[in-house]
Chains A and B, each alone.
Chain A
Amino acid sequence: MRAACLQMVYELAKKDPRVFFIGSDLGTGTLDAFKREMPERFFMEGVSEANLIGLAAGLALDGKIPYVNTIATFLTRRCFEQIVLDACLHNVNVRLLGIGGGLAYAPLGPTHLAVEDMAILRAIPNMTIVAPADADEMRRLMPLTLEHQGPIYVRIAKGNDPIVSRTDVPFAIGRALPMRAGSDALIVTTGITLKNGLDAAASLESSGIRAGVLHVPTLKPLDRDAILDAIAPVRAVVTVEEHTICGGLGTAVAELLAEAAFAPSKRFRRLGIPDVFPDEYGSQASLMERYSITAAAVVAAVTQLAH
């Protein structure tokens, strides 16, 4: 997904002179072709995130489209105020590309786990947050970032992801994507958890539970109507995210659900990282297992709620 994202930045830059790339201290060789062919629009500015965002906002205030790329934790937490004021208050076209969203950097420990990135950014007016499911969805997203007005955070999850998004479900920023129909339950996903949701729905079908899957790559602005329409006919709703349950997808859906006051009321559960700092290393998969962000956990939750 990361390779697809950066390749798209390069391709967008070749066709649009407004595109600038700003990295912090990325791996050697990152976007070498961009640097070679368009050196006047390629910047690698060191471990100085506050300065990167301010600089990008200055370029964007002047009509440029800067794509700022570094590790998601540092891109969101270290320079949070610059994101709020320089990018979002000015409402300019800064694009934040956060590498390693979620638990991807499990072996590196909690300093590198971006598990509250979407929660903190969701609180900022004007911000758009997109977490694609896979490399193909990333390729559908990136061209749209040229004309979208206002700042965007793109959550880049771990690479080599299986492709589960589909071309027959048209992608648009701000739109929830119905991936599977089902009248008993609804599984709501964002980012790479789309695969967990689809696997769970397939498994549930074999035990007679028809679960729909609604994929929400754009966490903000939330596609409220599509989500409420999908929730309306089912009894059970389960959200699943590679993110803390405080303030992310689950919270956003819970807010909608509570205010919609469905009668009869729905049964609802959030799957995600609980309100703790992960205390194990291992792998992304092992941490997802530990915190029940798996197809099996979705199956269990839906089964319990649907009956």
Chain B
Amino acid sequence: MPGSRTVNSHARSTAPLDERSRELRRVIVRMVQAAGRGHLASAFSVVEILRVLYDDVLRYDPKNPRWPLRDRCLLSKGHGCLGLYPILAEKGFFDPAELWKFSKRDGILGGHPEYGKVPGVEASTGSLGHGLSIGIGFALSARHDRTGARVFVVIGDGESDEGSVWEAAMCASKHCLGNLIALTDYNKQQSYGSTSEVLDLEPLADKWRSFGFAVTEVDGHDVAALRAAIPAAPDPAGRPTMVICHTVKGRGVDFVERDLMWHHKNKISEDEVRALLAGLDTP
């Protein structure tokens, strides 16, 4: 199958992590340390995708997060929010001191991102399979109002088990939403096991093509490749875009990559924190 062949060629990311990528992960580790819990591996998977979106792609104004002409970005796999919060803080959407109150009673940053609490978060996500449909609403609204805004929706591979994702896929394609760009964080692991065992998505690229999307595949930890893969302008043929980002769950620390128990971790010990930080010393 063509889809499988392409996947295999991207199965392992070879891109080294630069200092910025490793520092973003260190912040995530310190947030998990402060909270004692978090979806650490899911966040490590999505760091480069979000970094490239916020560094290089999205149009936004952190001092005016509701700026009508802004591009919209939805982290539909809301459990990856530890990957998002440090970037939003760094960009100035909120006080970085909030990071250390992750999941705390007096904090704004929960285990899933909430609209109305976290400046820069466009919709509350956490339950899977919601973001793409909400993104379609944003994209239709932007088209209606001729704002030129684009909509980016980051979905998970486990999330793609949800039927609502494919309802949304048909709808986006029907409406020729060239201003909608979806990105799949395809780390091939879900909570119980590998996606191929739990509910196989392959051939994933062919699926999205058959649903009418312009599909590209990229190493989801290769910053330069991501920059090149995310389209700079709406698809001229009016197709919505799917960027399949081949990632590694827990990318950045060897023992997290190897152990599914890190999908969501409670009671993280100080020894584990030291090991995580040490693991991030090497690119």
Contacts and interface: CB of A to CB of B under 8 A. Distances in A.
Contacts of A52: 133
Interface residues of B, number: 30
B124 A55 contact: no
Contact of B134 (A46, A57, A64): A57
B163 A50 contact: yes
Contact of A90 (B124, B126, B163): B124
Interface string B113-141: 00110000011101101111111111111
B116 to A, nearest CB: 8
B168 A51 contact: yes
A54 interface: yes
A61 B136 contact: no
Main secondary structure of the interface of A (DSSP, over half): helix
A15 to B, nearest CB: 17
Contacts, number: 95
Interface string A73-90: 000000001100110011
Given A55-B136, A58-B141, A46 B170 contact: yes
Given A90-B115, A90-B123, A54 B168 contact: yes
A124 interface: no
A58 B133 contact: yes
A40 interface: yes
Main secondary structure of the interface of B (DSSP, over half): helix
A222 to B, nearest CB: 25
B50 interface: no
Contacts of A81: 127, 130
Contacts of B133: 50-55, 57-58, 82, 86
A16 to B, nearest CB: 14
B248 to A, nearest CB: 29
A54 B170 contact: no
A60 interface: yes
Contacts of B145: 62
A54 B163 contact: no
B5 interface: no
B87 interface: no
B123 A58 contact: yes
A60 B123 CA distance: 11
A55 B171 contact: yes
B171 A48 contact: yes
Interface residues of A, number: 28
A296 interface: no
Contacts of A58: 123, 133-141
A89 B124 contact: yes
A46 B163 CA distance: 14
A54 B127 contact: no
A41 interface: yes
B20 interface: no
A45 interface: yes
B167 interface: yes
B140 A51 contact: no
- In the A-B complex, list the 3 residue pairs whose CB atoms are closest, starting with the nearest: A58-B137, A54-B133, A51-B167
Given A86-B123, A90-B123, 6 more contacts: A48-B170, A51-B171, A54-B130, A55-B140, A61-B115, A90-B115
